A and B are shown apart, each in its own frame.
Chain A
C-alpha cells in the first residue's frame, strides 16, 4: 500500500504569499509537492465558500495565507479577512468540520523559507490526520446511493 499523499489547496494573496512562494522556488528551497496554489488579488477576496468547495471537491487540507497585518497592498484587506476567518472558524468548529485541516498564515514576499515551512508542517499534520473521509462521505453522497 502506498503512503497517503494529502491533497492540499493553498489560497494565497498575489502581493505577499504568492511572491513569497516564488522566492521559495528561486531560493531553491525544496518543499512538499502536495500543495496546489491558487492566486488571489488579496486575502479579502478569499470567499469562505471557496474553502468549503475545496473540501467538497476532495481536498484533505487547506492553507490560507496573505500579507502580515499592516502590510496589505490594499491597506485593509487582510484585516477584514482576519475578522471573517475568526467567525468562519468558530462556525466550522461548531458544525464539526475539522478546523485543524485549515492552516491560516501570514507569509510576506521576503519569507520564502517560512512558506516552505508552512507547507511542510501542514502536509505533515494532514498526513497524520489522514484523508478527510467524513467530508468526502457527505460530498460523494451519490456514490453511496449507487452502491446501496
Chain B
C-alpha cells in the first residue's frame, strides 16, 4: 500500500489533516488502529485482510476530534459507516479526508461524501448465505425453544459493552443503558438485563446498521449478536425497500410512508 502511505504522508506534510487514522501492527499477528500525527510515522500504515476493525468508530470520539481534522483509511464497511454518519449529520464534507480502499486494495479518493454514495451504489449490502441460513434456522424453532436459545446465548454476556464501543453508530454521549432515572436496564449481568440490553441495542440500530459486524468481532464471548442486526436488516429490506446508507433517502425509522404495509394491527 505504498500509494496509501504516500498520500497519508502528503496530507500530514501539507497540514491538510492533523491526524491519520489507519491500521498498524498490533500484538502477535494482529492489526490495530493507529493514529499518526507526523509524516515520518506513515510508514507504519498497513492494509491487508486482517484489517477488520471499523475505524469509523473513532470519528465521533471527542478525544480524536480534539486532535484536529482526520484522514481515515476506509475499506468498504468503513465507507458505509461514514456515509451513515453523514446521513445522520455527524460528519460534514470538509470535516475529514476519506482514503478509500477498494476490495482490490487500491486507493480510492473521494472529493465529497456524496461521491462515496455513488461509489457504494454498485456495492450493495448483501447478507451472507451462511447468516441467512442461521437466522432461518432460529426462526424455524418453536417460540419457546427460540427464547431458550437466546437466553442461553446471552447468558455469556457480562455487559462489557464492547459491542457498543466498537459500533460506529453507537455514538450517543449518554446511552440509555447508563440512565438510572429511571433504570431502564439493570446494571448486573443477569438473564433479564442481558436480554433487555441486547433488544435495546438492536432496536436502536434498526434501519441504521450497515452490517459491518464490528459488534460481533469485538464480543469477547462471540455471542451471535450480529444475527439480531442482520435479521433486522432483512426486515427493513422486506418492509420498506432496500436499505443502504444514503444522503438522498430519509433514515428508515425517522420517516414513513402512509401506505406502509403490516398484517398484525387490528
Taking Cβ atoms with an 8 Å cutoff, the residues of A that contact B are 48-49, 52-53, 56, 69-70, 76, 79-80, 82-99, 103-106, 118, 134-135, 138-139, 141-142
Contacts and interface: CB of A to CB of B under 8 A. Distances in A.
Contacts of B139: 93-94
Given A85-B265, A91-B202, A94-B146, 19 more contacts: A48-B203, A80-B254, A82-B262, A83-B255, A85-B264, A90-B231, A90-B235, A91-B199, A91-B231, A94-B138, A94-B139, A94-B227, A96-B143, A96-B146, A96-B147, A96-B148, A105-B266, A134-B147, A138-B191
15 contacts: A49-B184, A79-B256, A80-B253, A80-B256, A86-B239, A86-B260, A86-B262, A87-B203, A87-B232, A89-B264, A96-B141, A96-B150, A105-B266, A138-B192, A141-B192
B206 interface: yes
Nearest to A82: B260
B190 interface: yes
Contacts of B266: 103-106, 118
Nearest to A135: B147
B196 interface: yes
Residue among A80, A96, A98, A99 with the highest chain B CB neighbour number at 10 A: A96
Contacts, number: 111
Interface residues of B, number: 46
B119 interface: no
A69 B148 CA distance: 36
Contact of A106 (B145, B149, B265): B265
Residue among B138, B192, B255 with the highest chain A CB neighbour number at 10 A: B192
A105 B265 contact: yes
B170 interface: no
Contacts of B147: 95-98, 134-135
A143 B227 CA distance: 31
Interface of B: 135, 138-139, 141, 143-151, 176, 184, 190-192, 195-196, 199-200, 202-203, 206-207, 227-228, 231-232, 235-236, 239-240, 252-258, 260, 262, 264-266
A87 B236 contact: yes
Given A96-B145, A98-B143, A104-B264, A87 B253 contact: yes
Contacts of B264: 85, 89, 99, 104
A42 B116 CA distance: 38
Contacts of A142: 190
A139 B256 contact: no
B196 A82 contact: no
A95 B253 contact: no
Residue among A49, A76, A95 with the highest chain B CB neighbour number at 10 A: A95
Nearest 10 A-B pairs (CB), nearest first? A96-B146, A96-B147, A79-B256, A105-B266, A90-B235, A104-B265, A138-B191, A87-B206, A141-B191, A94-B231
A79 B250 CA distance: 14
Nearest to B229: A91
A138 B144 CA distance: 12
A94 B262 contact: no
A52 B203 CA distance: 12
Contacts of B195: 95, 138
A91 B139 CA distance: 11
B260 to A, nearest CB: 6
Contact of B207 (A79, A87, A93): A87
A118 B265 CA distance: 11
